[in-house]
């Protein structure tokens, strides 16, 4: 018997269109997986079997609306879903229920997707870890803050999940869980109904099992035109360690080297590239922007409920409060200047190949890892995607990150599909 929940979104869409599997049958397989594995993985804040099956039955009774019709999707619990708990990973919001869908959830409903429930997030999508384990090895973190979204997709509970990224909260968990994570250009997926963290950085992203799955979903969640893959050859790729390279662990060093070699053998020109010197300070600039904006975004909770904020987040509040307006403006200027410089970079290269994470998922549940290799690209607002590239010494996956020019999301996804096919060939 086919285990429908283990197929990719793209494959499921084709099988459903051909009448080989119904939305209800797929939903039942996903529900069975959740029942079997959720006690160990802890990917969910809330899910309801009756609601899932009712949505699936409605899908089967109506004309197909899109390739996402009948596809189960998990929603990170800082993204509102009408009638479902919206707790944002914080006890402050225990019992809080959203009254309307976030814009991205509304887009999924218009496409006919089945909303499975709310996946675990770290506290306010920040650093304090929650209850989720990495399904590939339960002793390891799945990454964060989109912890439950990545773990649920990796454990075949659903083929697609929404996450958010302010530093590295989509790409890092995707890398740790052996998945494809996509952070689109800033603003291309509407953020209405998403609990704010940093208004200059927050980006809704997608986690799935293949680049094609992500590309198919992105067109509908962003409500843009569906895309067709195209990749001119040979590609010109900038192989970029970034200034954060000293933080790369052996698994990431190996992943980058393996990817560069395979892409070269496949006919691309892979050229070592160093970012301009002023990019060295952009990680700090990201921190300043994030701190300044987070303090203001969470000021109601800080003033009224500070005692319910985690002990690990409490010291950061003082740092946030210490950021001056002048620091913030200077950091924003640095980012604006760097974005202009990237135009020249992408006039030379089709995309940059950079690390996705420091290494394999850390052997801990007390941390979700660091956004060292993601934060700058988030702040620079262009699209970025991670694809699996290597298995490290602990037996866990490591991805590599592809970064494209702002607004060239469909182009980057096309290139990433080709890169994915190359890296999968041993």
Catalytic residue list: 76, 145, 169
Q: How far are the Cα atoms of 201, 280, 348 from residue 187, in angstroms, in the given order? A: 9, 25, 25
Report the alpha-carbon distance of residue 355 to residue 249 in Å, rounded.
Answer: 10
Query: 288: which residues sit within 8 A by CB, 6+ positions away?
Result: 323, 327, 328, 330, 331
DSSP string, 180-225: EEEE-STTSS--TTB--S-TTT-EEEEEESSHHHHHHHHHHHTT--
CB 43 within 8 A of CB 129: no
Best CA proximity match to 182, nearest among 207, 151, 148: 207
Specify the pairing of strand 114-119 against strand 44-47.
antiparallel
Report the alpha-carbon distance of residue 72 to residue 49 in Å, rounded.
Answer: 12
42: left (phi over 0), alpha (psi -120 to 50) or beta: left
């Amino acid at each position: 018997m086919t285990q429908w929940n283990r197929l990719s979104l793209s494959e499921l869409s084709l099988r459903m269109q051909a009448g080989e599997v119904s939305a209800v049958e797929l939903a039942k397989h996903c529900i069975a997986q959740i029942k079997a594995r959720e006690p160990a993985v802890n990917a969910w804040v809330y899910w309801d079997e009756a609601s899932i099956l009712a949505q699936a039955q409605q899908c089967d009774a109506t004309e197909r609306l899109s390739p996402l019709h009948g596809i189960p999707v998990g929603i990170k619990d800082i993204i509102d879903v009408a009638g479902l708990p919206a707790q944002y990973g914080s006890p402050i919001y225990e019992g809080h229920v959203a009254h309307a869908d976030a814009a991205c959830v509304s887009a999924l409903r218009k496409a006919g997707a089945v909303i499975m429930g709310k996946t675990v997030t770290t506290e306010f999508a920040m650093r304090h870890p929650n209850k989720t384990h990495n399904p590939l090895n339960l002793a390891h973190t799945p990454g964060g803050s989109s912890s439950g979204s990545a773990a649920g997709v990796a454990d075949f509970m659903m083929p697609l999940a929404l996450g958010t990224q302010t530093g590295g909260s989509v790409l890092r968990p995707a890398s740790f869980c052996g998945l494809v994570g996509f952070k689109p250009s800033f603003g291309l997926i509407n953020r209405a109904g998403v609990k704010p963290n940093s208004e200059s950085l927050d980006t809704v992203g997608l986690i799935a099992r293949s680049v094609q799955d992500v590309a198919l979903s992105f067109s509908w969640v962003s409500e843009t035109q569906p895309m067709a893959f195209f990749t001119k050859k040979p590609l010109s790729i900038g192989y970029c360690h970034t200034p954060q390279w000293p933080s790369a662990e052996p698994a990431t060093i190996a992943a980058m080297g393996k990817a560069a070699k395979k892409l070269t053998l496949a006919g691309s020109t892979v050229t070592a590239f160093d970012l301009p010197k002023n990019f060295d300070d952009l990680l700090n600039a990201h921190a300043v922007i994030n701190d300044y904006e987070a303090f203001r975004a969470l000021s109601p909770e800080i003033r009224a409920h500070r005692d319910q904020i985690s002990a690990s987040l409490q010291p950061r509040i003082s740092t946030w409060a210490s950021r001056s307006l002048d620091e913030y403006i200077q950091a924003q200027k640095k980012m604006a200047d760097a974005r202009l410089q990237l135009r020249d970079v992408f006039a030379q290269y089709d995309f940059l190949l950079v690390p996705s994470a420091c290494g394999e998922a850390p052997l801990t549940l007390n941390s979700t890892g660091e956004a060292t290799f993601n934060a700058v690209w988030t702040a620079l607002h262009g699209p970025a995607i991670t694809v699996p590239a290597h298995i490290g010494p602990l037996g866990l996956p490591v991805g590599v990150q592809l970064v494209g020019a702002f607004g060239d999301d469909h182009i980057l996804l096309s290139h990433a599909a080709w890169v994915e096919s190359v890296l999968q060939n041993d």
